[in-house]
Amino acid sequence: MSSAGKKMHDKMQEVAGKVKETAGKATGNEHLRAKGTAEKAQAQVKQAQARQTAHRSKGAITGKTKDKKGS
C-alpha cells in the first residue's frame, strides 16, 4: 500500500471508530461505544507513528537529526 493509501486507510479507520463511538453513546450500547473508542485510538496511534517515521526520514535526508551532535 502506498504512503497516501495508508494515510487514507488510517484516517478512515479513525472516522469509523468515531462513528461507532457516537452511535454507541446515542443508543446506550456500551460495547459499540467501547469498540469505537478502541478503533479510533488504534488509528490515532498508527497516524502518530507514521508522522514520527516521516519526521525521522526527513531528518536523515536533510542531515538534521537529533542524534547528530556538533557537526
Query: For residue 19, what pLDDT is reported?
Result: 98
Query: For residue 53, what pLDDT is reported?
Result: 85
Instruction: Report the number of distinct structural domains present in the chain.
Output: 1
Q: What is the pTM of this model?
A: 0.69
| DSSP structure class, residue 67 | T
Query: For residue 71, what pLDDT is reported?
Result: 47
**Is residue 23 situated within a structural domain?**
yes
Average pLDDT across each block of 10 residues of the chain; the chain has 71 residues. List them in order.
84 96 98 98 93 76 59 47
Query: For residue 61, what pLDDT is reported?
Result: 66
**Rounded to whole angstroms, how far apart are CA atoms 18 and 40?**
6
Residue closest to 55 by CA, chosen among 65, 70, 46, 45: 65
| DSSP structure class, residue 70 | -
**Is residue 37 situated within a structural domain?**
yes
**Is residue 42 situated within a structural domain?**
yes
Query: For residue 20, what pLDDT is reported?
Result: 98
Question: Which residue segment(s) compose the domain that 29 sits in?
Answer: 10-52
